[in-house]
Amino acid sequence: MNSSELAKLLGLRIKGTGKRRVNGVAPYYQAKKGEVTFFSLDYLKRINETESDILIVPESSVSYDKRDIIISASPYKDWLRVVALFRFDFEKPRMHKSFTAFPGVYIGKDVKIGRGTVIYPNAVIMDRTVIGKNVVIGPNTTIGFYGFSYSKENNQYVRNSQSGYVFVSDNVEIGANVCIDRSTAGFTFVGKGTKIDNLVQIGHNVVIGENVVITGQVGIAGSSIIGDNVVIAGQVGIKDNISIGENSIILAKSAVFRSVPPNRTYSGIPARPHKETLRAWARLFL
């Protein structure tokens, strides 16, 4: 399918050559040439940050030099319609000789698992998941199930289609009862050497760097980015679409609503530099 055929299928106008081949879908920060992405009005200022050459946007004033621009009143909803074109169905499990899987493990289709990986009982590895070498996956953990993504139509919530991947790099350790959601499009990613404790929720399209430590009951909402060597303590909640800079530490029970710069220690609700939190507590309790 090319971009003009896609626009016709969506019932939308297109500017540009209309001849660019559609190879997939991805968020703007992951999209490559041939992958359809979108920009809402608030994010148009970031339009030069994407490598995509097929964009769904809310206005025709966007330059279509070297791009095909599909004009939409609701770019996100129309992009989800494109995601639905790449959906797939689950299949019966299959095993591989290069790794160890305990009884009760389910492995879907289009799954790759590296040598030396150990998957403990009743873990679930859903379709379109790539697991690196020497990874440990704890019991009852689920990797690659649907992310929590819905649109409201006719006063009812409808699940958005999701056709992305999960990538877990080499030497990652994942505890028991962890959930790592499949991306809407593009990928959810866990970097090399990262250690994830039990009962952690990682939302769709989250990108986690290398050698990150995430302790129990942490929740990371969709499309957030965690830098290398970050430490996230217990019961921290992280909002969607923000970033935690490399080498930063988020102390226990913090609620992170805004991006955190590199090399910082944050705490509290809302999370702020730890010294500011201590001063605020002193004014309240001393």
Of 119, 238, 122, nearest in space to 168 by CA: 119
Write the burial class of residue 45 (CB in 10 Å: 0-12 exposed, 13-18 middle, 19+ buried).
Answer: exposed
Around 25, how many Cα atoms within 13 Å sit in the side-chain half-sphere? 24
Cα separations in angstroms, 142 against 108, 251, 257, 276: 11, 26, 26, 38
The mean pLDDT of 49-72, rounded to a whole number, is 87
Give the chain's domains with CATH numbers.
3-85 (3.40.1390.10), 100-276 (2.160.10.10)
On whether the pTM is more than 0.85, the answer is no
Question: Is residue 276 scored above 70 in pLDDT?
Answer: yes
What is the biggest distance separating any 2 CA atoms in the chain, rounded to whole angstroms?
68
Question: Is residue 98 scored above 70 in pLDDT?
Answer: yes
Of 43-47, 145-149, 247-251, least confident by mean pLDDT is 43-47
Question: Is residue 74 scored above 70 in pLDDT?
Answer: yes
Of 163, 169, 167, nearest in space to 143 by CA: 167
Residue 80 and residue 82: Cα distance in Å, rounded?
Answer: 5
Pairing of strands 173-174, 195-196: parallel
pLDDT value of residue 89: 58
Question: Is residue 66 scored above 90 in pLDDT?
Answer: no
pLDDT value of residue 286: 75
Of 61-70, 83-92, 189-198, least confident by mean pLDDT is 83-92
Residues labelled catalytic: 204
Question: Is residue 42 scored above 60 in pLDDT?
Answer: yes
Q: What is the CA radius of gyration of the chain?
A: 20
Q: How high does pLDDT run on average in the chain?
A: 93
Is residue 201 within 8 Å of 143, Cβ to Cβ? no
The mean pLDDT of 94-110, rounded to a whole number, is 85
For the ranges 1-5, 13-17, 95-99, 243-247, the maximum mean pLDDT occurs at: 243-247
CA triple 104-118-141, angle to 5 deg: 55
